[in-house]
Amino acid sequence: MDAKQLKRADCRLANRLHEQIAGRRHESVDRLIWKLQTQTAYGQRLGRLRHRLEVGKTHEFDLGIDGVRDQIRRVLPEMIEHLTQIQSLAEDRQGTVSCGDLAAELEQVRNEFGALTYDPKEKTLSVETDDFRIRIRELAAA
């Protein structure tokens, strides 16, 4: 392949990689939306427990208050874990990479290592040198 054909091949591959990266980013946003929706249920549950505490206090029902406190103690660790997961998803700042940047990286890898092959069926990118072969699986996860 001449230099122009290699550049076109790198651009096509960069476009595929860009689509995979964008797809993973959208999956992350979908998970964040789902976690936020389920967090609303925790808020509603706490609201009901708060109401039961108020009723117990009004009617001086100490045993009922103790039961509600036990329920709150059980639900709080779940909520904390859930909020930690939401925080992690919200902080996921996968940078957006342009196709041009990816094509430049692929060209740099090709210049540094030589042969560069992509197997769309296996979703692998392979580089071979005289000494070893590097094979990167699941490019979209990178």
pTM, two decimals, is: 0.49
Could you give the strand order of the β-sheet that contains 133-137, starting from the edge strand earlier in sequence?
A: 116-119, 124-128, 133-137
pLDDT in tens, the chain (142 residues): 677 887 787 788 888 877 777 777 777 788 888 888 888 888 899 999 999 999 999 998 888 899 999 999 999 999 999 899 888 888 866 556 677 778 888 888 777 777 777 777 777 777 776 665 555 554 444 4
d(CA 124, CA 12): 15
Those residues whose C-beta lies under 8 Å from the C-beta of residue 120, and which sit 6 or more positions away, are 16
Place of tokens 């389920």: 38
